[in-house]
Amino acid sequence: MNAIALAPPRPLIRGPVLRRALIAGARRVISRRELLNKINVFPVPDGDTGSNLAFTLGGLLTGALSRRTAGAGELLRRVGEDAVDSARGNSGAILAQFFIGVAEAAGPEVAIAPAQLARAIGAGARSARQALSEPREGTILSVIAAFAESLEQRGEVADVRLWFARALAQARQALANTPNQLAVLMKAGVVDAGAQGFVDLLEGIDAFMDDGSVGSEPVEDEDRAGIEVAQGHGELLEGDPQHRWCSECLLLGEGLDRAGLRAAVSMLGASCVVIAGSHARLRLHAHVADPKALFDVAARFGRVEATKADDMQAQARSAAAGGGVAIVTDSAADLPDEIARELNIHMIPVRVGFGDQDYLDKVGLSTAEFYRKLRTEIVLPRTSQPPPGDFRRQFEFLLSHHPALVYVGLSKTVSGTVQSAEAAAQRGHPARTHVFDSANAAGGQALLAIHAARMALASASAEAILAELARLRPLTVTWAIARDIGHAVRGGRVPRWAKPLLNTLGLTPIAKITPDGRLGMAGAFVGGRRIPDRFAGYVARRVDGARRWRLIVGHCDAEADGAALRAAMHERLHIEESWLVETGPAVGAHAGPGALVVSLQPVDD
């Protein structure tokens, strides 16, 4: 009797192994964050790609990857959700969208065959590319695509280790080719930082497949932190003005002093305090009057990450009002505080960083404190869009009290903020969540948000608000002048040769936001005398003097000049209403102290 030849069992990738492999990959990227920061020259040489990827993957380590799961599909779903919530920067957002695409294509399988995983990774690569309005080759997208293509070309897989190693080799080759695809990389003699970060992730996984190592530190289970926070919220006294901000952060370090931290937080008079975690990772939650004070206290005990602060008074106003369309903007808008409260406009803070310390713009770091640090800190500040999780949390709350919401966002051509909002909208209630690209910033963005909020209070529908915003968008104009372009030069926004040229000629550059939302040079003043008055005259000559206008004047730590500019604008134009505000880091980080911003919007009968 002849023996029947049995086919070897088909290899399957299961949840526990996949989880440990991803932990190894994430830890390798985090360990190399400083190198990635140093080689970051595209799209802007602002040196934060490593930090952004570390923040993004750190969210996975404290979330999906900190909890055991039996199913590979369920693990990928959690990884995708947590990646979206913790994504920072362009590369972080792209990586998050990649994980989401992989998870959606993989489905709920407990164990995944290599060929099925290859198709899911291919779907993730396409999803990441589709998330960008202007995808570029020579970036992380190219490396992800090369890796995915190699996996899909292998067909049936007998040896998973060899299958992965070949795809990693293709990814490394694509990484080495990035300087040939982007001239700025070739000139700097580096590969793309985001692409290098993705290869680092793969190499961490590859090392795990070799020896099973996931690093020296255990992954802490933080389920208890979530339970304690939920319990703490039950103690909230509604409407308490001394505990307006529901604030939270992650604290990292060695031998963290939980008792000392609790005592220090109690000195702030905080309520609903929760401190949960391990000696190396603590989750701090508290209701406070000043989130910055809480985060400053936490920073004395370890490295502060993943900060958030929700304005519970604004939430209470929304819960009480209900009925109409909710209006949301971000902190790049120079929105006067009194108007934001009067019209109940909700604000998502942009992230601002100095060195390793991250802040929530205008919440965890006041504008005045930002300029103080800008003048005294050696390191340049960096700004990044809020992660989709910040939007999703706010959107979900507002839609529980309002039939729809309209988000008026920072220009899509200069920031990924609108894209973060769009990602959050798609994961929540896309039919009720409307994302509007203001194609503007600073006062121009704020004027559009104010008009939307007034329409909402008048019971206008979301569709009517969006139509009116689209009409007003090209009519809402913004100009700016910078007294010192040194910050823009150091941040890579302006070429180095421009500063000595402007200084030699004694020029004060004038910029204007173009119709597509970009900031472009419009002219210059010779000499530095009477700048506010001359700037007002320049702007007045370029708008219709017969119309009535709304005006926002922004200043970068130059209140006297801002007040003079506002008065000069009133002398030259029919200004129906105006506000003077301190322009935040979204502009100030690049324009520097002393800059002035003028935004105008026509008033129709």
In this prediction, residues 201-230 reach a mean pLDDT of: 60
Class of domain 13-211: mainly alpha
Question: Is the pLDDT assigned to residue 495 strictly greater than 60?
Answer: no
The 10s digit of each residue's pLDDT in 506-558 is 678 888 999 988 877 788 878 778 999 999 999 999 999 999 999 999 999 99
Task: State the helix-helix crossing angle for 388-399 and 312-321, rounded to 10 degrees.
Answer: 30
CA distance 603 to 64: 50
List residues bridging with 406 in a β-sheet. 327, 434
Helix, strand, coil percentages for the chain (3-state, nearest 5): 50, 20, 30
In the numeric block, the tokens 């029919």 are attached to 574
Q: Are 503 and 496 in contact (CB under 8 A)?
A: no
In this prediction, residues 270-279 reach a mean pLDDT of: 73
The 10s digit of each residue's pLDDT in 426-447 is 888 899 999 999 999 999 999 9
Question: Is the pLDDT assigned to residue 504 strictly greater than 70?
Answer: no
The 10s digit of each residue's pLDDT in 312-357 is 777 667 666 666 899 999 999 999 989 998 999 999 999 888 877 7
In this prediction, residues 144-150 reach a mean pLDDT of: 96
In this prediction, residues 241-261 reach a mean pLDDT of: 83
List residues bridging with 580 in a β-sheet. 553
256: left (phi over 0), alpha (psi -120 to 50) or beta: beta
Please report the pLDDT score of residue 227 as a whole number: 35
**Domain coordinates of the chain in residue numbers?**
13-211, 475-603
Please report the pLDDT score of residue 236 as a whole number: 36
CATH code for residues 475-603 = 3.30.1180.10
Give the 3-state secondary structure of residue 65.
helix
Question: Is the pLDDT assigned to residue 80 strictly greater than 50?
Answer: yes
